[in-house]
Structure 1
Amino acid sequence: MRLLQNELFRRSSEKRPVEEDPRQLHLFNEAEVSAEEKPVTEEIEVPAHTRQKPRRKPLPEHLPRVEVIHDIAEEEKICACGTTLSRIGEEVSEKLDIIPARVQVIRTIRPKYACKGCEGVESEGGAVRIAEPPPEMIPKGIATAGTLAYVATAKYADGTPLYRLSKILERYGIEIPRSTMASWMVMAGDRCRLIMEMLQRELKSGVLINCDETPVQVLFEPGRANTTYSYMWVFRGGDPQKPVVLFHYAPTRSGDVPREILEGYQGYLQTDAFSAYDQFDRPGSRIVLIGCMAHVRRNFVKVIDARGKGAKKTGSAEVALEYIRKLYAIEKVARERKLTPDEIRALRKKEAEPILKEFKAWMKGRLPQTPPKGLLGKALSYALNHWHKLIRYLEDGRIPIDNNMAENAIRPFVVGRKNWLFNGHPNGAKAAATLYSLIETAKACGLEPYQYLRYLFERLPFARSEEDHLALLPQMLTPEQLTRSLQ
């Protein structure tokens, strides 16, 4: 019951306070740490110090500025001696002003032309001439590229359900049913099919792919009840500087999904311990499966959470977490020093490998003394059963210690799911996978989602060749290009 309550209500962070007792590092060989033993304390004198006054972060330079001058009255510009005051400077302060979304109607006018001299005569010259309508994402629809980008960003980047967005537009006097907006998203997603194929190829161009999956409820799935869960998969890979975040909807959680997506890929694959990935952990596989230390830590955190707030005991779970904390401390040092992959590998070889060997030996000694079906027994068994995958991150400095990059990539979808709860149709789920892919990849490449989607939707109807489509990938664009396109 305590564990269930913690799963429902506790904070999601797994960070733990570092023990203040410096002797704890020498107690790893003990099965338990005495609960009655109190740390030795020593009074120290803290010297006085000065604290910097916090400074407000300046407003972005790219925002337009509107100058408002507050001047003194003209009669106050005359000194008591009769001399006119001279301006010697000014004081400037900047405040942020937000104007709600500007809604406008774009009227496309196509003049018609005809020859009066050929009137009534059947000839090619007598036909009415008019310019072809410009290509659009949704031909004959009322939604421009900006409208589609706005709706997609609101739902998939900000987690706003379409029925709420419909209410927001009503405040502007615009009545657009959520069913209409849903169909817009499906059509927009379908038009981006070739872009998605290119992103999938780009995903497999790097040396590492992180993968994760989460359930999603989809209605009107053929042959399935509405209460049956489907799954949204996420893959993060490609160039580490401009990565691809690829979402893929599937009605199943079977290993066929990652096998299809990763066909032809050769490199590292980092995941949790879900059995669908075991197919890659075999001799001769072109894919090297990497484990996740965060999942090991999570299991030991559950042991502590199940004790309840009143428990004062310090034992095996804390010892395990201290080992893991030291491993993460090494990774933090590597990040702060901005080490190269070769330097990270050398650092891990020197400092992390001995800790891992000691950690494994401690767990193997502790496992026979622990009930296998208890939380601690499960945590120990999980770590030891997947140990060969957990230590593979030592091989290459480009591999992280955990799969948090995939979990962070899928988090926006999980947050949005809490608001819109389910997808109304499989087509909507596929469109969601496409638009989440575009938005999260744009964010990972440093692009603002709305600006990128608007840029994409304006130019995609004119793309004809593969080069045209390739130029629209987030990896090919810069924030400056998007900003100029909106001016």
Structure 2
Amino acid sequence: MKQLESTIKSLEQQVNNLTEMILLLRKEKFGSSSEKTPKPVLSGQICLFNEAEVEADPNAPEPVVKDVHGYKRHNPKSRREERLKDLPVKEILCEIHEDDQNCLRCNTLLRPIGRETVREELEYIPAKLQIIRYVRMAYECPQCKHTDTPYIEKALTPSPLMAHSLASPSTVAHVMYQKYVNAMPLYRQEKDWEQLGFALSRATMANWIIRCSQDYLNPIIAHLREKLRQREILHCDETPVQVLKEEGKKPQSKSTMWLYRTGNDGKAPIILYDYQKSKSGENALNYLKGFIGFLHSDGYAGYNRLKDVTRCGCWAHLRRKFVEAAPTDKRSENGPPTPAEVGRDYCNRLFKIEETLSALSPDERYLKRLELEKPVLEAFWCWIDSLNVLQGSALGKAVVYARNQKRYMENYLLDGRCSLSNNLAENSIRPFTVGRKNWLFSDTPKGASASAAIYSLVETAKANGLNVYAYLNHLLLYMPDADYLNDPDELDDLLPWSERVQTECKL
């Protein structure tokens, strides 16, 4: 009898897990991909927190239905003028033909009395190609000309980007910009070059990208990496990438693109990609060798290999587990919240408090977190310990994840510069994942490493407010003649936050 009851219980558990799996698959296929909590839920979270006592503010102003005199409306024309202020202007003057400039009444010649701007249009000027030919002048000394040692001197010329190639800084920067910012594969760019009247093959463009990244961009990346490891707050993430011609691996196998970036420490942001053939934590250990500080990441156990770091867990990942365990997108108006919704609401509460602390200094944020968020965390862990969940269910996985990551989830309280989530890294790695949907895979490890270098400079330039194309062109223009091996300070002048780069490439 007991064996029969155990069998029935096991089958019921299996049915519940399969039913939950079907609901989750239907939700992923037909439901909204947004993880935002429905507004009715946010306004009715009285089951968890004393909202009235906590949120009450006697000084808060009452909502105004309509106040015409006190309402400041922005003139849409002024916003348009602000957007157009830096663009050159070409005026088209519309005049009456000279044969018709006579008065229809007395036939007297008309004279102009004013001008009126009728409208403005934004004109697109397509790109065009031209050949830049460097011609070097040679000079001789007329006195030494008739001696046994005539003196001849030739003018200096800038070093070529690539020897015996038509590649210029502007063309290579354009190819990189199209592929790594606009996610346009090389075979599509090939068609664009045909429209411009020049046959440029994808193989040639790939060679340009790899050669220039190896010769000119990798030294900048190495310098940025040293700057990165000197910081105290870092975020990291990883995502799979397929490389077809990886030695010792099948074309169908997955390699890994790692991302490391600085946190909200008040300094210039650095975002770096690193291609590796595996997802081993040894890769992060080698890349961040010498780093001491706080490391934000997801729950991947490979980061445990890093020593002298304090791992900070991601509450956005934990919240996502509870969102996936919620049976539907909307809660019943009358019924009590499900355990998954309760867990999600705890996370919502923490993020809501964080929003109110965003303008504070790190020291002030540190104290406020202990005051406002510490009680919520204690209540959350007590609630987690009280749960008896179905093993293997979505809720069970969320609870197990929370219990396993507990020792990392509160470490953000140790420093006001730390973040509640790892969203900085997730947002930084998203451009790579978007591009991957277009070009699908890399052909060789050299191509994947070149992609990592260019994505690093592209995303770091964006984070520092630079025009990405202008910055890539700037690097390719100056790096061929930079003597950075003997004078490393030259690389400092090419970093995204340097005064010269900010002046020439500011967005």
TM-score by structure 2 length? 0.82
Residue 404 of structure 2 corresponds to 385
User: In the superposition, relative to structure 1, how do residues 78 and 135 fare at CA in structure 2: closer, same or farther (>3 Å)?
Assistant: same
Q: Is the 8 A contact 2:101 2:109 kept in 1?
A: no
Q: Is the 8 A contact 2:236 2:425 kept in 1?
A: yes
- Identity of matched residues, %: 36
Residue 259 of structure 1 corresponds to 285
Q: Is the 8 A contact 1:2 1:308 kept in 2?
A: no
TM-score by structure 1 length? 0.85
Q: 1:67 aligns with which of 84, 91, 95?
A: 91
Deviation digits for residues 64-121 of structure 1, max 9, x if unmatched?
22222335677679798989777467446433221122322211223567899999x9
Deviates more, 1:348-357 or 1:401-410: 348-357
Deviates more, 1:1-10 or 1:137-146: 1-10
Classify the secondary structure of the residue corresponding to 2:310. Answer: strand
**C-alpha displacement of 1:415:** 0.2
Q: Is the 8 A contact 1:28 1:319 kept in 2?
A: no
Q: 1:180 aligns with which of 194, 204, 218?
A: 204
Q: Is the 8 A contact 1:210 1:237 kept in 2?
A: yes
Instruction: Confirm whether residue 466 of structure 1 aligns to residue 488 of structure 2.
Output: yes
Q: Is the 8 A contact 2:496 2:502 kept in 1?
A: no
Q: Kindly report the root-mean-square deviation, in angstroms, between the aligned alpha carbons of the 2 structures.
A: 3.4
**C-alpha displacement of 1:140:** 1.7
Structure 1 residue ranges without an equivalent (≥5): 30-44
Q: Is the 8 A contact 2:231 2:291 kept in 1?
A: no
The one-letter code of the counterpart of 2:425 is A
Classify the secondary structure of the residue corresponding to 1:218. Answer: coil
Q: Is the 8 A contact 1:447 1:478 kept in 2?
A: no
Residue 230 of structure 1 corresponds to 255
Q: 1:16 aligns with which of 37, 61, 76?
A: 37
User: In the superposition, relative to structure 1, how do residues 122 and 242 fare at CA in structure 2: closer, same or farther (>3 Å)?
Assistant: same
Classify the secondary structure of the residue corresponding to 1:211. Answer: strand
Deviation digits for residues 269-312 of structure 1, max 9, x if unmatched?
000000111223xxxx42111000000011011112x5588988
**C-alpha displacement of 1:358:** 0.9
The one-letter code of the counterpart of 1:293 is W
Residue 33 of structure 1 corresponds to none
Distance 2:502 2:407 in 1: 45
Residue 410 of structure 1 corresponds to 429
**C-alpha displacement of 1:47:** 4.7
Q: Is the 8 A contact 1:204 1:237 kept in 2?
A: no
Residue 32 of structure 1 corresponds to none
**C-alpha displacement of 1:136:** 2.3
The one-letter code of the counterpart of 1:188 is C
Q: Is the 8 A contact 1:209 1:237 kept in 2?
A: yes
Classify the secondary structure of the residue corresponding to 2:46. Answer: helix
Distance 1:124 1:193 in 2: 44
Q: How does 1:7-86 map to 2 (within 5 A)?
A: 7=28, 10-19=31-40, 24-26=45-47, 47=65, 55=76, 57-58=79-80, 59-71=83-95
Q: How does 1:18-417 map to 2 (within 5 A)?
A: 18-19=39-40, 24-26=45-47, 47=65, 55=76, 57-58=79-80, 59-71=83-95, 87=113, 90-91=116-117, 93-111=119-137, 125=150, 131=155, 134-191=158-215, 192-237=217-262, 240-280=266-306, 285-304=307-326, 307=328, 314-335=337-358, 338-366=359-387, 368=388, 370-417=389-436
Distance 1:138 1:5 in 2: 53
Residue 37 of structure 1 corresponds to none
Distance 1:164 1:311 in 2: 50
**C-alpha displacement of 1:60:** 3.9
Q: Is the 8 A contact 2:350 2:373 kept in 1?
A: yes
Q: 2:448 aligns with which of 409, 429, 441?
A: 429
The one-letter code of the counterpart of 1:332 is E
Classify the secondary structure of the residue corresponding to 2:130. Answer: coil
The one-letter code of the counterpart of 2:503 is Q
Distance 2:102 2:322 in 1: 73
The one-letter code of the counterpart of 2:355 is K
**C-alpha displacement of 1:222:** 0.8
Deviation digits for residues 136-188 of structure 1, max 9, x if unmatched?
22122101000010000100111000000000110111111101100100001
**C-alpha displacement of 1:19:** 2.9
Distance 1:222 1:100 in 2: 43
User: In the superposition, relative to structure 1, how do residues 92 and 402 fare at CA in structure 2: closer, same or farther (>3 Å)?
Assistant: farther
Q: 1:439 aligns with which of 446, 458, 462?
A: 458
The one-letter code of the counterpart of 1:194 is P
Structure 2 residue ranges without an equivalent (≥5): 1-21, 51-62
User: In the superposition, relative to structure 1, how do residues 309 and 17 fare at CA in structure 2: closer, same or farther (>3 Å)?
Assistant: closer
Aligned residues: 459
